[in-house]
Structure 1
Amino acid sequence: MSIGLRTDAKPTELVLECAAEPLAVMARLAGSGLFGDYVVYERPGSWTFAGGTLGEVVLDADAVHVRWPGLPLAARPWSGRPADALREAFAGSPIPAWNAYGWIAFEFAVPRPTGRLAHLIVPCTEVRVADGRARITGEGAERVAGLLADAAPVAGVPSPVDVRVDGDAYRAKVAAAVAEIHEGRYQKVIVSRRLDVPHSVDVVATYARGREANTPARSFLLDLGGLQAAGFSPEVLATVDADGRVMTQPLAGTRAFGAGAEADARTRRELENDPKEVFEHAVSVRTSLEELHRVCDPATVQVTDFMTVKERGSVQHLGSRASGVLAPGRSPWDALDALFPGVTASGIPKPDAVEAITRLEGRRGMYSGAVVTASHDGALDSALVLRALYSEDGRAWLRAGAGIVSASTPDREYEETCEKLSSIAPYVVPR
């Protein structure tokens, strides 16, 4: 039985002691079969499960589809910025206090996009786990409490996916991008490769196994409209709190991690002293600051934690934090629009890099887009969709890229994709 659209149910709230590990709780809820669509979203110290569909906003290239309780499904054309289409759709919500969860495709930033650009739900049921307590709100709270009582670590034996394939094709793409950089067409571009998984996958078990081995900035697990994904995002794209404070965390510059203390220390020194990696990071931070200046009070824009090393599963990155306060008249959707797609997942200048990616790779979909949560009070949190597994229509795949600049070499950039794919490839659990 699925928990779907209900307009006659009175929302309830339960707060329970939760002895089980939050990861086990999220996996138990996701694999329970009680919900149709769902999203799991982990932030530092807090996990949220959003299940069932009370409201829904789906943005396609030609129309926005909106469903609210008590109202008929509405579909209308849109024009202009896709972020404005989302803002207007949620502004029309009849639900006074709502939280929305979902994803945005990379093509959200393409001038003439095709396909699905975003899918977000306002759930029937939310479960938030933090500090040993579970807060259950919405429909079916008692039933959900029963699931929490028997949450246990997820079973499943991974079948590692070989990441060292498609080398020649990817190296050729990198060489083409380097040539275009030397021609002055752009400064940096992220070139990625797709790795098909040769068997069907258990997405929930893969999430559980992979989360045990990763140290993400955010993690996520979702099933929306038949598209499933599980990932361990290394990077915050944009957060906006209810008071309008905006933060982004560009990561650029990569080396392998997890080979032992001595090897990790050596690669860390390489990362911190490699001119190519330092340049790649510095230009990414500069771009993030320029984007924040477009939507924030300029006097509030700043950089902190400049070029510190962040350990993210099988890799380590150079990372910085850029922040500001929204200018009067600006909304969280404006902040998301300014920072999307992430500079570290697209390139510099962004419009030229996006054009090159579309030409070199075709449609990316969720990869290098964002998983997003938004709220009626103006808060928004989003993470880059990287280090993820995707599954749809019986097919599963992984994807990873590397930042290409004038000093890039095809062999090193291919090796970087292998390092990044190793954050998820060893933990794929067959179905």
Structure 2
Amino acid sequence: MTVPPSETIELCLSWLATRDEGALPSLLLSAGPITEDARYCILAERPRFVVEGTPFGAMGGRFSVRDTRTGSTIAAEPIDRLFDVLRQIERDHGRPPVSGQPGSAATLPFSGGWIGALGYDLAWSFEYGIPRYRERTTTLPDVWLGFYEEPLVVDRTTGAVHGDATAIAAFSQRDAQRTRPRFRAGALRSAFHREDYEAAVERVRQHCIAGDLFQADLTRRIEFDLEGDPRGLFESLVERSPASHMAYLGLGDGRAVVSASPEEYLRLADGVVRSRPIKGTRPRADSPERDRELRDDLLASDKDIAELTMIVDLVRNDLGRIAEPGTVEVGAFPSVLELPQVWHLMADVTAHVDARHDVWDILAASFPAGSIVGAPKPMALEILERVERSRRGFYTGAIGYLEPGGNAMLSVAIRTAEVSERRLRIGVGGGITALSVPSEEFEETCDKARGFLLALGAREDGVTVVGELDDGVD
């Protein structure tokens, strides 16, 4: 079946708005300009298996696998066994079939498998051996994956919809009278006031000057009380801050992950893995002349080019651990990524994956993404653990899909919010080097928060939000 290409985004949002929360709906949405990498949208609900876990807290460094058909827990293991158990589930249940469109699986990015999020703190499950200095302040897990057997895949270029025929028919019925799900956000709280964040920047900068670090990505968290439906926030983000790797994950029990990430952590297809780290930020301007000046200033910045160079070297090293010898390559460097609120620098790093390795090996070799940690990675992880005020959770982890034995696409979970216990938590941050100016680094985090604040109808003035926040839909 095909639908008008111009209506694909609205149909995806309508589908999401009408899903039951208990169906655990997931929507991976490519918004903004259509490109080969931002062409498809993936919609899924009612996963066969649900995986949740965390290295910390009440779950005690464990994860569980629940069979949603029986309601039973089929596995409860230490978190360092996570990837082994996921492999076993894939072996036991095989590649999910594609129904409704015979022969289409070969050309689609995803025909079924895992959709979900891996939190930044999953790094503590790997070999880094980093001390832990902060406790968790949320009940959200650090791993949430659903095994979805019958996804819908929508091609924004052609309007083609692939998947189960009954689900396609329901998807194509647009409700012209539909209104956006309502939400309201209350007063803002920040884990870092401006002065404290700038002091933390200076601490990291001194580590860079001392030679402990080349670069580290320092973050802070902004929190709101949230009433209503976070799907309304997601729709507002699509309207005001569209990005190529948007995602809404309904985790059940009033929990959700909302993301408008522009950054590709890894894309695996036909045995080739690609990562597209971004570094360096300039705000957009209303005046075309001023906008071009800001773009050119970013391209001419020694600090930002050096930052991207260091991260590209880190990504090359990470991918080299799973690549065929001599196949790691860097494409155009640097390129400029244009987003509604900011400019970024970007690079392409690709590698041919050694046949002995799968996507879980790639994750073990490279997670979390170098661009949101720093270099050298183990030292950056430890220093950030000492300096930052709160655990990052899903923020700066990874969100996307992983097909058993096939394709994968994971974004870096930036421009990402968590919702639980009627609280909305947004993370923002930036790369710190010896050349960083603390006040400018704080302003960069404000630039990056702008998309979410616009979607909330808010503005950040240092550390407060002015006025009550509403989606404005009547």
Provide the TM-score with structure 1 as the length reference.
0.87
Equivalent of residue 269 in structure 1, options 296, 318, 332: 296
Cα distance between partner residues in 2 of 1:21 and 1:109:
40
CA apart distance, 1:146: 6.4
Distance 1:277 1:19, change over 3 A: closer
2:63 and 2:82 in contact (8 A); partners too: no
Counterpart residue number, 2:43:
49
Counterpart residue number, 1:190:
217
2:17 and 2:181 in contact (8 A); partners too: no
Counterpart residue number, 1:428:
456
Whether 1:359 and 2:386 are equivalent positions in the alignment is yes
CA apart distance, 1:237: 0.2
CA apart distance, 1:207: 1.6
Out of 146-155 and 243-252, give the one that drifted further. Answer: 146-155
Counterpart residue number, 1:282:
309
Distance 1:80 1:121, change over 3 A: closer
Aligned CA-pair RMSD: 2.8
2:184 and 2:226 in contact (8 A); partners too: no
CA apart distance, 1:220: 0.8
Q: Give, as a single letter, the amino acid of the residue that structure 2 aligns with 1:187.
A: F
2:225 and 2:422 in contact (8 A); partners too: no
CA apart distance, 1:106: 0.2
1:35 and 1:51 in contact (8 A); partners too: no
CA apart distance, 1:298: 2.5
Where structure 2 has 5 or more consecutive residues not aligned to the other structure, the ranges are 31-37, 56-60, 98-111, 458-469
Identity of paired residues, percent? 22
Whether 1:90 and 2:105 are equivalent positions in the alignment is no
* Structure 1 residues 341-365: Cα deviation after superposition (integer angstroms, max 9, x where no partner): 1111111111111112222223110
Counterpart residue number, 1:58:
52
Whether 1:409 and 2:442 are equivalent positions in the alignment is no
Out of 89-98 and 53-62, give the one that drifted further. Answer: 89-98
Distance 1:265 1:201, change over 3 A: farther
Cα distance between partner residues in 1 of 2:342 and 2:449:
10
Matches within 5 A, 1:205-354: 205-225=232-252, 226-241=254-269, 243-354=270-381
Cα distance between partner residues in 1 of 2:143 and 2:273:
22
Counterpart residue number, 1:398:
426
CA apart distance, 1:119: 0.8
CA apart distance, 1:406: 0.8
2:95 and 2:404 in contact (8 A); partners too: no
Secondary structure of residue in 1 paired with 2:362: helix
Equivalent of residue 40 in structure 1, options 6, 9, 27: 27
2:28 and 2:246 in contact (8 A); partners too: yes
Equivalent of residue 379 in structure 1, options 404, 407, 418: 407
Out of 143-152 and 74-83, give the one that drifted further. Answer: 143-152
Secondary structure of residue in 1 paired with 2:347: strand
* Structure 1 residues 226-270: Cα deviation after superposition (integer angstroms, max 9, x where no partner): 4212221121000111x2110000111111124331111111111
Counterpart residue number, 2:144:
119
Distance 1:16 1:309, change over 3 A: closer
Cα distance between partner residues in 1 of 2:347 and 2:74:
42
* Structure 1 residues 89-137: Cα deviation after superposition (integer angstroms, max 9, x where no partner): 4334367544210000001112478773311112365222212232342
Equivalent of residue 144 in structure 1, options 148, 156, 170: 170
1:109 and 1:340 in contact (8 A); partners too: yes
Cα distance between partner residues in 2 of 1:285 and 1:101:
27
Counterpart residue number, 2:13:
27
Where structure 1 has 5 or more consecutive residues not aligned to the other structure, the ranges are 1-14
Counterpart residue number, 2:153:
128
Cα distance between partner residues in 2 of 1:93 and 1:415:
49
